[in-house]
Structure formats: C-alpha cells, structure tokens
Structure 1
Amino acid sequence: MYRSEFYVYEQDRPQRICIRNYTKDDFDQLIAIQSECFPPPFPSELWWNKEQLTNHVTKFPEGALCVEANGELAGSVTSLCVDFDPNHVDHTWEEITDNGYIRNHNPNGNTLYIVDISVRPKYRKLGLGKLLIQAMYHIVIEKGYDRLLGGGRMPGYYKVANEMPPEEYLTEVIHGKRKDPVITFLLRCGRVPIGVAKNYLEDKESCNSAALMEWRNPFKQ
C-alpha cells in the first residue's frame, strides 16, 4: 500500500501533507471533493457514488490515492489497469473506465489509466495535483507497467474550434503558442501527447475531444 508524508509550501510557510490510499472511511469526503470541483450546473449524479468508490478500493486499491492537508482530504486520484494498444488510441472515457466503476480492471494489463484527478479549489496553489500524478508514476514503476495514460480535457479549445481541428490546437499548446489550463498542467507533470480521442467525454469546452497523454516507464523503454 502507498503512503508518503512530506511538506509543501504555502506562501513560504511549510505545510505537512500525506498521500495515501483512500478507504471506505473517506467516501463522504471524496464525494464532497467532487461537489467542490464540479459544482452546478454540473449534474450531481455524475459525482462519485459509493458503488463506484467501493469498486475502487476493492478491485484496485493500489490505484486509489488521496492527499491529506490540514486534517482533511484535499484531493484524490483514481486509476485502473488496462491492456492498451498504442496503435489504436481512439476510445471514450466511459468505455475504458467502465463509466468510473472499473469492473473492467485487468490485473495483467500493461497500462495504468487515470480515471479521475480532483483537487479542492482552496488547495490548488500547493501543487497537489502534480504530486498525485507523480505518486501514480511510482505505481507504474513498482508494478512494472509500460506507461501511465489518461485523457486530458482541452478546455481552451472551444475558443478556436471554428478555426482549427483539435489536433492543431494541441500542437500549438505543445509548441508554446497557446496555453491550456489542463494540457499545459499535464505537460508540466511530464506527460507527453500521443493523439486526440474524438467524442471522449461530453464536454462543451473541449468540444468532446481529449488529448491522450502518457508517461512512459523509463525502466521499460
């Protein structure tokens, strides 16, 4: 099981945090995090439910992590293992994550796939999202997977969707011609785009597209 304790800095003041596996005792806080990260008009029925969370901690507890700060949960990240073919990148979030229920978790798969990452707004200046992603890299190495993979929203794409396809938008972000709140963050975390998945998730800002972003296991090149 995973547990890591260290300090982060908030305005030059050190703050102790802990990244660990989440458990059934954390379910209410995990749902609260979703409500803060995805407030109305986002439909509440799309927040985590307890059946999904139960599957996370029973089918693949190693891939269910949370971060504690100030005595409360500040964020979480959830993953499952899949057998991914890099030659066939197009898929939807619902297909590859079993709509968040991860009943399709494959213990013999080659790829750690990110289902969701959420950090409470009041903690986002502490860099906790990046630390949660780095914790997932540790799991990739420890388990010997080929890669970490996930679909990144492109919330800035809708502004230029009439001018260019999503692939061109992604290229401009990679080359520094544009900044995107999610894709730029993932690039800073060490993730590398391998393609665009169309109709990945119903998302008006991204025009339903997502950038597939991987981190290759450096010990399995």
Structure 2
Amino acid sequence: MYYKTFYAFDQKTPVPAVIRQYTEDDFAELIKIQSEAFPPPYPAELLWNREQLHNHVTRFPEGALCVEVGGVLAGSVTGFKMNYDPEEAVHRHTWSEVTADGYLTTHQPDGNTLYIADLCVRPKYRSLGLGKELVQSLYHVVVEQKLQRLLGAGRMPGYHKHSPRMTAEEYLAGVVSGDLADPVITFLLRCGRTPLGVAADYLEDEESCNFAALMEWRNPFL
C-alpha cells in the first residue's frame, strides 16, 4: 500500500499533504477534479467515469494514486503496466489504443514499463508542486517493481499558437532548447522526463492540435 506524507508549500507556508492509493470512496471527488482540471474545449467524454476508476483500483492499484492537502483531495495520477520495445515505433499509438479508452484493460501484469494514463491537479492547488510529487511517486513504483521506465505522452497545449509556422517536432525541440515554454512539456522536463518523439492524433485536443510528446524516465537502478 503506497502512503507518503510530505509538506507542500503554499508560497512560504508548509502545508501537510499525503499521497496514497485512491479507492472507491474517492470516485465522486476524482470525477469532480477531472472536470475542474480539464475544462472545455477538452472533450467531456474523455473525463473519468466510475467504471474506469473501478478498473484502475482493481487491475493495478499501485498505479492509482491521489494527493490530499489539509484533508482535501487535490489531484491524482493513474498508471498501468505495459510491455514496451524501444525498437518499435510505439509513439504511433493513440491514448485510446494504449489505455483502452481509459478502462486499462490493456494492463499487462508482467509488463516492463509503467505508462501514465492521466495526471490532474485542481487548478487552485497547482502552485503547490503537487503534480511533480505525484509523478515522482510513480517513479517510486517503477523502482519498487523493478520496471525499466516510466512512459507517457504529454499534451502540448501551447502548440496551437505556433502551429501555423512550425511542425509539432519543431515545437517540441524549441521547448527542449528553452526557446519556447509549454505548460505541460516544460513541467514534465522539470520532473526529469526525456522526450522520445511526437505522437500524431494521440488525443482529441484542440490546444495541442491532437499532438503529444512521448516522454520517458528510465529506472536508474537497472
């Protein structure tokens, strides 16, 4: 059972926080958090429902984590195991394909890779660094389960502002070089993730022009 206590910082003020596995008792609040974290134009049908959340906590509960701040549920991260071959063009997959539309029936108990299906934090808590803490908690899962890597595709919500004059690959390169900043990709770089490539038509996402950046974190102990 994953359970981590730490202090988040509201500017200069330490605030008690906990990261733990989420359970059925959290489902209603997790669904509410999704709607707050991903407002329109993000497609409402891509937000979690109770059946999906039930699959998360039954198929791979170690990858179903949430964070509480002062006793209030503030965000969550969800991952599952898959087999990944770096030689294959895995970046051509879509979110729907790899996550089975969020139901995680694609979970492979003997997989070598932890794949992030979702990360969300309530907007009013985003200045506390909770997203980074959630991602790092999945790094702990990777190490504990002796997996090779954490893998996931990050949205590129700033890309639509640049799409008329550059490709998605050029945009990602600009973010990595520091010439551009992206709310999601820059955050993931700060979390220690490394880009592997760009996935086209990964997710119906107007701001990202349906592109996503496939990014990994390698287990340093293997």
The reply to whether TM is greater than 0.5 is: yes
Cα displacement (A) at 1:48: 0.8
Q: Work out the CA distance in 2 between the residues paired with 1:106 and 1:16.
A: 35
Kept in 1, the 8 Å contact 2:175–2:181? The answer is yes
Aligned to 1:214: 216
Aligned positions, number: 220
Aligned to 2:146: 144
1:171 aligns with 2:182: no
Partner of 1:55: helix, strand, or coil?
helix
Cα displacement (A) at 1:42: 3.8
1:108 aligns with 2:110: yes
Alignment CA distance shift 1:151-1:31 (3 Å): same
After superposition, the C-alpha distances for 1:169-213 in whole angstroms (9 at most, x for unaligned) are 111110011001110000000000011111100111111111001
Q: Work out the CA distance in 2 between the residues paired with 1:40 and 1:95.
A: 23
Q: Work out the CA distance in 1 between the residues paired with 2:54 and 2:130.
A: 24
> 1:193 pairs with 192, 195, 200, which one?
195
Partner of 2:215: helix, strand, or coil?
strand
Cα displacement (A) at 1:14: 1.1
TM alignment of 1:119-158, pairs within 5 A:
119-158=121-160
Partner of 2:195: helix, strand, or coil?
strand
Partner of 1:99: helix, strand, or coil?
coil
Aligned-partner residue type, residue 19 of structure 1 = I
Kept in 1, the 8 Å contact 2:82–2:112? The answer is yes
TM alignment of 1:46-57, pairs within 5 A:
46-57=46-57
Q: Work out the CA distance in 1 between the residues paired with 2:11 and 2:84.
A: 41
1:65 aligns with 2:80: no
Q: Work out the CA distance in 2 between the residues paired with 1:64 and 1:28.
A: 15
Question: What TM-score do the two structures reach when normalised by structure 2?
Answer: 0.96
Question: What TM-score do the two structures reach when normalised by structure 1?
Answer: 0.97
Aligned to 1:93: 95
Aligned to 1:44: 44
Cα displacement (A) at 1:43: 4.2
1:19 aligns with 2:23: no
Q: Work out the CA distance in 2 between the residues paired with 1:210 and 1:160.
A: 14
Runs (5+) with no aligned partner, structure 2? none
Partner of 1:106: helix, strand, or coil?
coil
Partner of 1:122: helix, strand, or coil?
helix
Partner of 2:45: helix, strand, or coil?
helix
Q: What root-mean-square deviation, in Å, do the aligned CA atoms of Structure 1 and Structure 2 show?
A: 1.0
Q: Work out the CA distance in 2 between the residues paired with 1:5 and 1:130.
A: 14
After superposition, the C-alpha distances for 1:57-86 in whole angstroms (9 at most, x for unaligned) are 000000000000122110000011011121
Aligned to 1:28: 28
Cα displacement (A) at 1:28: 0.6
Identity of aligned residues (%): 63
Aligned-partner residue type, residue 45 of structure 1 = E
Cα displacement (A) at 1:126: 0.3
Cα displacement (A) at 1:45: 3.1
Aligned to 1:204: 206
Q: Work out the CA distance in 1 between the residues paired with 2:155 and 2:82.
A: 20
